[in-house]
Amino acid sequence: PPLYIQRYEFVIDFVKKNKPKKVVDLGCNDCTLLRKLKFHKEIELLAGLDIDSAVIRDRMYDLAPIPTDYLQPGDHPLTIELYQGSVTERDPRTKGFDLVTSIELIEHLQLEDVDRFTEVVFGYMAPVAAIISTPNADFNPLLPGLTGFRHYDHKFEWTKAEFQTWALKVCREFGYMVAFTGVGQIPAQEESIGFCSQVGVFQLDRSGGDAPRLQSNVTEEHLPYRLLYNVVYPS
């Protein structure tokens, strides 16, 4: 299957194994991943965030329940919430999730915004797990005809070493553990190049009880994200 499908399948496999109840997809675009995730009955809250309201609106009503959802209800209601907003801003409605996914998003951010994203996701949202994917620049020489970045809107593409440096710093600063993996075939004999898309799977390190958490006690009333769509499936 094409690479983007393999990335969604990676997330779906993780969901099947880990059964998160609350999942938020950052940079959800036209909600393709969310449409696949809504069939996983353990999920109780499915949220999506994108800076571009037009791409969300494009197909958002496809997330509405269909008649069989009423005929074969799940064990618990499923709530879906779609927001327009930026991953560089903190909004309390994205705190306390079991899983945050960020698939091919960070390379669209300026590097100073990657720092904000890092603090927002790992310091503020502080999910139990996070799946972050981004292109692997080491793989680019194997892509025929590619000069420069893979997409005109990419602000950077990290080598394996650069991605790992960022990820290990996240772990030190915010108390996570990371496993490095990826999707997209590794050419025979060239395993050191790594995958076409590199993926970091982060898990909150519960042993590091005194890891610094940047949560404030201030009453939070600032809701920078705009709710575009909200639906509750029957149970």
User: Which residue stretches of the chain are H helix?
Assistant: 3-18, 32-37, 53-59, 67-71, 111-118, 160-174
**What is the x/- site pattern for ligand SAM, positions 89-118, by CB under 6 A?**
--------------xxx--xx---------
Identify the bridge partners of residue 24 per DSSP, sorted by sequence position: 47, 100
88 sits near ligand SAM (criterion: CB under 6 A)? yes
Q: How far is the CB of 40 from ligand SAM (least distance, A)?
A: 17
Please give the Cα distance from 114 to 134 (Å, whole number): 12
Name the residue nearer to ligand SAM (CB basis): 60 or 175.
Answer: 60
Q: Give the 3-state secondary structure of residue 151.
A: coil
Show contacts with ligand SAM in window 143-182 (CB under 6 A).
none
Among 44, 50, 81, 91, binds ligand SAM (CB under 6 A): 50
Name the residue nearer to ligand SAM (CB basis): 73 or 108.
Answer: 108
Please give the Cα distance from 159 to 139 (Å, whole number): 8
Name the residue nearer to ligand SAM (CB basis): 51 or 100.
Answer: 51
Where would I find the beta strands (DSSP E) of 73-210? 79-84, 99-103, 129-135, 176-183, 197-204
Interface ranges with ligand SAM (CB under 6 A): 4, 7, 27, 29, 49-52, 55, 86-88, 103-105, 108-109
